[in-house]
Structure 1
Amino acid sequence: MIKIIIRILRIADELSQRLKLSYLFSFLDAIFSMFSLGALFLFLSNWERQGQYTSRLLFQVIRLLVFGIVGKAISQYLVYRLQSTAGYEVVAKERMNVGDHLKRVSMGYFYEHDLGDITASVTSDLNFMEQYSMHMMDKIVTGFLATVTISFFVVTFNWKIGLIFIAGVAISMMVYHKLQIQSVIASKKEQAAQRDAIAATLEYIQGISVVKSFHMHEKHLDGMEQIFTKSEQASSEPIKVFTPLYGVYSMIFRTAACLIVLSASYLVLGNDMDYASFAVIVCAAFTIFTPLETLGQLTQLIRRMDESLNRVEELKTAKEIDQDGKKIELSKFDITFENVEFSYDEKTPLIQNVSFQIPEHTMTAIVGPSGGGKTTITRLLARFWDVQKGSIRIGGRDVRDFTSESLLSYISMVFQNVYLFQDTIENNIKFGNPDATREEVIKAAKKACCHEFILELSNGYDTMIGEAGSTLSGGERQRISIARAILKDAPIVLLDEATASVDPENEVEIQRAIDALVKDKTLIVIAHRISTIKNANQIIVINEGKVAQCGKHKELLKEKGVYQTYWNIRKKADNWHV
């Protein structure tokens, strides 16, 4: 419990002082709530001694009540002012911290971890923290302080009654500890089931077109129903554990309150306690345990908050790929792979002892069978992952010496599967250069052969496109991606089968756009098209993760190796017509 408070205050950072001040006023609020009991004791003790009340006594009682009411109102107002937006501010900053960290994490992290888990952490967990962290913290801190203060006053007021109160607190804390342990055990299944449900929902939404096209929605929904049923059952497990234990926890306070009243009755009958003290103790008996009862009600919130903090912390501590990187200025952009080895799981070799050189301002085509490691090679250059052995250098500098931001500033990438954001056409193109003007965006769009179709859209460059560019055709998305790369104007360009899945008309437009993009660049292209391959300055043939051949088109054809076989297959495929 104390650990959670420390963790949240650490996340709050500069807001922590503001939160600590709010807890002070929450504590004062609890103290001011006791003024009514003080007023009651003052009135009854004077009445008992004098047998009557005076206007002076009434004035003192009213003054004490008013002071308590006003003090409580001011304290509550200040608590609200200090805490009302704190949760949103803290979590907004935490979201930015998580996002900033994830952009420096290896792409391998996202392949190794379930998308549903990551999504749950950055949405559900952070939303939960946003809504409940401040309320929970306030109740824990003020409840603890109030319990300590009440213990002091009760023991001072009457040590015999104080011992009963302290005994009740001690026994309740033992039950509370048991309550926490059981809640944590039961919640593990609940959290796993919830994440499975999120992952299943994401998969269903992302694959809805495939599900419909194969008329599998009923079968798919049956599978989802099983997952949701499991989630429902797992979610009820903590409640089954919590309810009986919380019943015992609450019963301790009721029993202690009854014992306090009985003890006070015994003391007053034995003339060991005056009636004023008796009245105050009876009134207070069923309220002095309120802070601890509230703490018990928060058990499940505290448990879930701890788990949410753990999962968010897991994202924030994911190993950064460029922890020791520097911002490096380059004047040359030749590329060298030297004895590079890499595997995704460190067990099954994918890239094996790959070595080659790419002079700057030249075009290199990488070809070979699917699954041979062509795309992985380009992504190793962009340092989506780090190599296990060997080195990759740009301009003589190892890519591991760079920060990700510094390295990627020299590289433009156009992939076969283009991702566009749910934003305007202009902002999607400006992703290559956020500071670009509208004129520069239009110039890049013209070079990418997409200016004309953009003008035909409802709002031109201000047209909002659907998520992942769903409102555009594949060829249109590809050309916008190329416009984005043209606007970035990086000296190294990576093209990963950019024309592999478009129709002939779009291919012509895309090829023109690529010609504008790669002028005076160091170009690496993964391609299947014959026209693209044979014009390359150098062709590297990758087969089973190794460099099988390297040279120019005519040279490789004469060698009668993997490339010749590959070339003949491609020629036959390109000669097919429907």
Structure 2
Amino acid sequence: MLKIIRRVLRLSGNLSKRIWGSFFCGFLESMFGLLPIVAVFFVLNQLQSGLEITGQTWGIVLTLIIGGLVLRSIFKYLVYRLQSTAGFEFVARERISLGDRLRNVPMGFFHDHSMGELTATMTSDLNYLENYSMHILDKVTSGVLTMIVMAICVLTFDWRIGIVFLLGIFLSFPVYNYMQKKGKDLSEKRQTIQADAIAATLEYVQGISVIKSFNMCEKNVSEIENAYEKNADSAYEVESVFTPLNMSYSLVFRICACIMMFCAGLLAIGGELTFARLSVILLASFTIFNPLEVMGQMTTLIRMLDSTLDRVERIKQAKRIDENGKDISLDSFDIAFDHVSFAYENGNPILNDVSFSIPQGSMTAIVGPSGSGKTTITRLIARFWDIQDGSITVGGHDVKEFTCDSLLKNMSMVFQNVYLFRDTIENNIKFGFPEATHEQVVEAAKKACCHDFITALPDGYNTVIGEGGSTLSGGEKQRISIARAMLKDAPIILLDEATASVDPENEVHLQQAISALVKNKTLIVIAHRLSTIRDADQILVVDNGKIAQKGVHADLIQQKGIYQNFWNIRQKVRNWKLAQ
């Protein structure tokens, strides 16, 4: 329990002062709640002493009661004020921190962690922290502090009744510890099941077109239903386990409260306890254990908070790929691979002892069979992964020397699988250059041959496109992606099948636009259409993770090998005719 408090305070950083302030105000709010009992004791003590109840006496009583209510309201307000601001700011900062961490982890991190788990952490877990963390900590700290103060007060009031009170606390510890242990196991299990349910939902929504096209809706719906049923079963299991435990925990205090009243009655009958003290003890017995009971009732929430913090900290502790990187400004933009070997997490080698150089301002084309490692080369230049052997340099600096930002600011990328954000078309084009004017956006769109179809849309450049660009065709998405790369105007350009989804008519215009874009820039192109790379300064032919051939188009088509085979197949395809 104290460990959880320390974890939250550590994560909250400079906001911990507000949290400590809310704890203190919460404790005072609980103490001022006892003033009405003090007022009752004062009146009864006056009566038992035979003193006359005067207006001054009633004034003191009313002052205690009203003062208690007012002060309790003030400190309750301060608790909510301090907790709310600290909680919201703390979680807002955590969202930004987690987003920044995910932006700088190796891509392999997303292989080791499911999208359901990451989505659950970024959404439901952070929402849980935002809505419950401060409330839970307030109740826990108030309960512990109130327990200590009440123990001192009761022992001072009557040591015999105080011993009964302490006995009740000690008897509750084994039940509470068992509840904490069961809560930890169940909360971890439940969060795993919640992540699986989110993953099933994402998979269903993202793959809905495939599901419908193969008429598999019923099968996939049943899988989601199973995930949701498991989620419901886990919630039911938590309730079924904790309902009897909470009852047992509360029963300990109920029995102790009855024993306190019984002992107080015996002491009063024996003349060892005054009527005023007896009345106060009887009144207090109904509420004295309330803070401790609330702590027990919140066991599930506490354990859920602990598991939530575990998942958040797992992301925060993920190693940044640029942990030791520096902000480097480049004067040259040549690229070199020196005996590079690389394998993904499954251990299968993708590149094996690959070496080549790309001079600044040149165009290098990469071709080869599917799965040969072409796209991997471009990903390694951008340092999406780290290589196992060799080195990759950009402008004479190893890519491991850079921070992610200082490396990627030099690159514009257009990948085969284009992703557009649920935003206006203009903002999607401006994504790499937010300060661009509308005129600059239009100019880039014209060069990328997408201005005409954008202006034909109802809201033109202000048209909001669906998530992932779902409301646009493949060719339209790719042209917007090319416009985005053009607008960024980076010195290094990576094009992975940039014209794959573009019709032949627009391909001619795009090639002209790309030619203008890459003037005096370092360009790396992956292409299956060999006609688009005939003018490349060098062509790298990749096969089975190695450079099988290297040269220019005119030389490679004369050499026996993969490139010549590709070219011959291409020429045969161009001569195909449909039989009548």
Report TM bin, short chain. Answer: over 0.9
1:420 corresponds to 2:420: yes
Q: Tell me, in whole angstroms, the C-alpha distance in 1 between the residues paired with 2:492 and 2:18.
A: 49
What whole-Å deviation, never above 9, does each CA across 1:161-207 have from its counterpart, x for those lacking one? Answer: 00111111111122101101012122333222211111110000000
Q: Tell me, in whole angstroms, the C-alpha distance in 1 between the residues paired with 2:493 and 2:285.
A: 76
- 1:498 is matched with 498
- Judging changes above 3 Å, is the alpha-carbon distance between structure 1 residues 86 and 553 closer, same or farther for their aligned structure 2 residues? same
1:523 corresponds to 2:523: yes
Contact 2:363 2:522 in 1 (8 A): yes
Contact 2:339 2:389 in 1 (8 A): yes
Tell me which amino acid in the other structure corresponds to 1:489: D
Paired residues for 1:159-558 under 5 Å: 159-345=159-345, 347-558=347-558
Contact 1:485 1:517 in 2 (8 A): no
Deviation at 1:63, TM superposition (A): 1.9
* Corresponding residue SS for 2:349: coil
Contact 1:187 1:237 in 2 (8 A): no
Q: Tell me, in whole angstroms, the C-alpha distance in 2 between the residues paired with 1:207 and 1:284.
A: 61
- 2:11 is matched with 11
* Corresponding residue SS for 1:412: strand
- Judging changes above 3 Å, is the alpha-carbon distance between structure 1 residues 577 and 158 closer, same or farther for their aligned structure 2 residues? farther
Deviation at 1:441, TM superposition (A): 1.7
Contact 1:493 1:524 in 2 (8 A): yes
Deviation at 1:26, TM superposition (A): 1.1
Tell me which amino acid in the other structure corresponds to 1:328: I
The two structures have a TM-score, normalised by structure 1, of: 0.97
Deviation at 1:258, TM superposition (A): 0.4
1:32 corresponds to 2:35: no
* Corresponding residue SS for 2:104: coil
Contact 1:475 1:506 in 2 (8 A): no
- Judging changes above 3 Å, is the alpha-carbon distance between structure 1 residues 81 and 262 closer, same or farther for their aligned structure 2 residues? same
Tell me which amino acid in the other structure corresponds to 1:7: R
Tell me which amino acid in the other structure corresponds to 1:357: S
* Corresponding residue SS for 1:182: helix
What whole-Å deviation, never above 9, does each CA across 1:304-351 have from its counterpart, x for those lacking one? Answer: 111111101111111100011111121211111010011012621111
Deviation at 1:450, TM superposition (A): 1.9
- 1:158 is matched with 158
Which range moved further: 103-112 or 127-136? Answer: 103-112
5+ residue gaps, structure 2: none
Which range moved further: 498-507 or 388-397? Answer: 498-507
Contact 2:325 2:403 in 1 (8 A): yes
Deviation at 1:446, TM superposition (A): 2.1
What whole-Å deviation, never above 9, does each CA across 1:418-457 have from its counterpart, x for those lacking one? Answer: 1111111111111121111222222222222222222222
Deviation at 1:14, TM superposition (A): 2.2
5+ residue gaps, structure 1: none
Q: Tell me, in whole angstroms, the C-alpha distance in 2 between the residues paired with 1:373 and 1:486.
A: 26
- 1:119 is matched with 119
- 1:23 is matched with 23
Q: Tell me, in whole angstroms, the C-alpha distance in 1 between the residues paired with 2:84 and 2:409.
A: 41
Q: Tell me, in whole angstroms, the C-alpha distance in 2 between the residues paired with 1:248 and 1:572.
A: 82
Contact 2:108 2:345 in 1 (8 A): no
Contact 2:23 2:142 in 1 (8 A): yes
Deviation at 1:577, TM superposition (A): 5.7
Contact 2:359 2:522 in 1 (8 A): yes
Deviation at 1:576, TM superposition (A): 4.1
Deviation at 1:43, TM superposition (A): 0.5
- 1:93 is matched with 93
Q: Tell me, in whole angstroms, the C-alpha distance in 1 between the residues paired with 2:32 and 2:538.
A: 82
The two structures have a TM-score, normalised by structure 2, of: 0.97
Tell me which amino acid in the other structure corresponds to 1:386: D
Q: Tell me, in whole angstroms, the C-alpha distance in 1 between the residues paired with 2:246 and 2:512.
A: 71
Q: Tell me, in whole angstroms, the C-alpha distance in 1 between the residues paired with 2:147 and 2:376.
A: 61
Tell me which amino acid in the other structure corresponds to 2:424: T
Q: Tell me, in whole angstroms, the C-alpha distance in 1 between the residues paired with 2:11 and 2:513.
A: 47
What whole-Å deviation, never above 9, does each CA across 1:503-528 have from its counterpart, x for those lacking one? Answer: 32343343333223222211110001
Contact 1:186 1:241 in 2 (8 A): no
- Judging changes above 3 Å, is the alpha-carbon distance between structure 1 residues 32 and 39 closer, same or farther for their aligned structure 2 residues? same
Which range moved further: 50-59 or 5-14? Answer: 50-59
Which range moved further: 84-93 or 324-333? Answer: 84-93
- Judging changes above 3 Å, is the alpha-carbon distance between structure 1 residues 576 and 86 closer, same or farther for their aligned structure 2 residues? farther
* Aligned residues with identical type, % of pairs: 55
Contact 1:41 1:276 in 2 (8 A): yes
- Judging changes above 3 Å, is the alpha-carbon distance between structure 1 residues 572 and 156 closer, same or farther for their aligned structure 2 residues? farther
Contact 2:250 2:293 in 1 (8 A): yes
Which range moved further: 325-334 or 370-379? Answer: 325-334
Tell me which amino acid in the other structure corresponds to 2:432: G
Deviation at 1:365, TM superposition (A): 0.9
- 1:569 is matched with 569
Deviation at 1:74, TM superposition (A): 1.5
- Judging changes above 3 Å, is the alpha-carbon distance between structure 1 residues 76 and 54 closer, same or farther for their aligned structure 2 residues? same
* Corresponding residue SS for 1:183: helix
Contact 1:496 1:525 in 2 (8 A): yes
What whole-Å deviation, never above 9, does each CA across 1:228-249 have from its counterpart, x for those lacking one? Answer: 2222222222222212211110
Tell me which amino acid in the other structure corresponds to 1:221: V
- 1:107 is matched with 107
Q: Tell me, in whole angstroms, the C-alpha distance in 1 between the residues paired with 2:518 and 2:110.
A: 30
Q: Tell me, in whole angstroms, the C-alpha distance in 2 between the residues paired with 1:7 and 1:472.
A: 46
Deviation at 1:575, TM superposition (A): 4.1
Contact 1:448 1:516 in 2 (8 A): no
Tell me which amino acid in the other structure corresponds to 1:91: V
Contact 1:475 1:510 in 2 (8 A): no
Deviation at 1:549, TM superposition (A): 1.1
